């Protein structure tokens, strides 16, 4: 998938659980896709559910890693293999 996605600003929250290998892989995967496809049109906030459990409760996070696209509307969530670029891109569209 070449090029960038829509020029709208993307607001993303990535929920992870601690400093695990899976968390690191999810963070790296999401950052890689954002840098390549969203360029400067995104704001990514990484949230460790152990350090900020109230945010996880408020967002009703039941599994990690979870990427939440707050903007542009509609809100979308995707869970699971966040190293897979195609999986992440399908949720960002």
Per residue in 10-52, pLDDT (tens digit) is 999 999 999 999 999 999 999 999 999 998 899 999 999 999 9
Query: HSE of 73 in the Cβ direction (CA atoms, 13 Å)?
Result: 0
Q: What is the pLDDT of residues 63-82, one digit of tens each?
A: 999 999 999 999 999 888 88
CA distances from 83 to 37, 51, 67 (A): 15, 23, 12
Residue 4 maps to a domain: no
Which residues are 16's β-sheet partners?
A: 48
Peptide bond into 72 cis (omega under 30): yes
CATH of the domain at 83: 3.40.30.10
The total number of structural domains in the chain stands at: 1
Residue 79 maps to a domain: yes
Residue 24 maps to a domain: yes
Which residue range(s) make up the domain with 66? 10-92
Cα separation, 49 vs 71, in Å, equals 21
Q: pTM value?
A: 0.88
Residue 3 maps to a domain: no
Residue 1 maps to a domain: no
Residue 62 maps to a domain: yes
Nearest Cα residue to 38 out of 88, 77, 82? 88
Residue 2 maps to a domain: no
């Amino acid at each position: 998938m070449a090029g960038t996605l829509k020029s709208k600003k993307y607001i993303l929250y990535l929920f992870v659980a601690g400093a695990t290998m899976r968390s690191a892989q999810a963070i790296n995967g999401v950052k890689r896709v954002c840098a390549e496809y969203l360029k400067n049109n995104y704001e990514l906030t990484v949230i460790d559910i152990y350090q900020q459990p109230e945010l996880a409760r408020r967002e009703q996070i039941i599994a990690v890693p979870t990427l939440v696209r707050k903007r542009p509307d509609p809100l979308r969530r995707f869970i699971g293999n966040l190293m897979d670029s195609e999986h992440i891109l399908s949720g960002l569209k």
